[in-house]
């Protein structure tokens, strides 16, 4: 027996398959065994977790996740078109925001663009209308000014309500000014300056006798006021375009509920 043991050991040493490079052919490595065992444990844990997720409570919680956390594998054509247009709107609005801050390409003209935007603000127009109403001595002038005041108040309330419903933010993170807070013009959609400028220009074109150059300047003023809000980064392009549409609709509403001269005189006497 003692002599046979050294012979078997020598035979094992001379065996080619016992070398390190052929060891993996004879038996699996310890690392592979450990990885396989850990993989089995993980699969077992995942199976257990999947079995727990089959509970009705957790199934209801997973169904209550918000839509933005769920992947839509088959979006509709309308959804794709809407998202594409929205992306184009955001991209173009950011490119046109040349006065969004002092470091922008047109940052030096930001003060002038802000001054142009103030000409379409609601507070100066309401104050000016009240001053003109106090100084007016004709019945026709008072009738036009009272309906203009009604149109300005309706514009502020309608735009503020729509902005509260939409709660869309502008392309840049810019805080509203003091006048914007006074008129509750704190969100982007629709653009309050654009709706007011469109409503005022249409109102003056219908109720004032103006020469053709003044009529052209009035329309250009409304367009410049609207798109100045895109240049300073407060609104998207679609916000301004929708503001123009809402401004025209507000003008049509004021025309429908137009107050007569007697009604205006009664309101003035009460005031």
* 173: helix, strand or coil: coil
Tokens at 83, concatenated: 């998202």
End-to-end CA, the chain = 127
Residues 106, 112, 117, 121, CA torsion sign:
positive
Q: Residues 96, 237: contact at Cβ < 8 Å?
A: yes
Q: Tell me: cis bond preceding 190? Omega within 30 of 0 counts.
A: yes
What are the residue numbers of the active site?
193, 235
Q: Residues 155, 192: contact at Cβ < 8 Å?
A: yes
118 Cβ neighbours under 8 A, 6+ residues apart: 124, 179
Rounded to 10 degrees, the C-alpha dihedral 120/125/126/131 comes to 170
**Could you give the CA distance from residue 110 to residue 97 in angstroms, rounded to a whole number?**
10
241 Cβ neighbours under 8 A, 6+ residues apart: 194
Q: Residues 196, 152: contact at Cβ < 8 Å?
A: yes
């Amino acid at each position: 027996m003692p002599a046979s043991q050294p012979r078997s050991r020598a035979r094992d040493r001379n065996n080619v398959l016992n070398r390190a490079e052929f060891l993996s052919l004879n038996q699996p490595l310890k690392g592979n065994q450990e990885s396989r065992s850990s993989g089995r444990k993980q699969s077992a844990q995942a199976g257990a977790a999947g079995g727990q997720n089959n509970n009705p409570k957790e199934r209801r919680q997973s169904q209550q996740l918000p839509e933005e956390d769920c992947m839509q594998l088959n979006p509709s054509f309308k959804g794709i078109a809407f998202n594409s247009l929205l992306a184009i709107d955001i991209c173009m609005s950011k490119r046109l925001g040349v006065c969004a801050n002092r470091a922008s390409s047109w940052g030096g003209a930001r003060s002038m663009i802000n001054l142009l935007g103030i000409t379409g603000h609601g507070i100066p127009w309401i104050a000016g209308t009240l001053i003109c109403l106090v100084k007016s001595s004709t019945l026709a002038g008072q009738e036009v000014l009272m309906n203009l005041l009604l149109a300005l108040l309706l514009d502020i309330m309608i735009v503020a309500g729509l902005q509260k419903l939409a709660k869309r933010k502008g392309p840049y993170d810019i805080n509203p000014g003091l006048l914007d807070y006074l008129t509750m013009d704190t969100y982007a959609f629709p653009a309050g300056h654009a709706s007011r400028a469109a409503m005022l220009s249409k109102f003056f074109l219908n109720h004032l006798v103006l020469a053709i150059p003044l009529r052209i300047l009035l329309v250009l003023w409304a367009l410049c006021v609207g798109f100045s809000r895109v240049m300073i980064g407060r609104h998207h392009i679609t916000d301004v375009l929708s503001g123009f549409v809402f401004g025209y609709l507000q003008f049509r509403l004021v025309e429908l509920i137009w107050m007569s001269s007697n009604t205006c005189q009664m309101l003035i006497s009460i005031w």
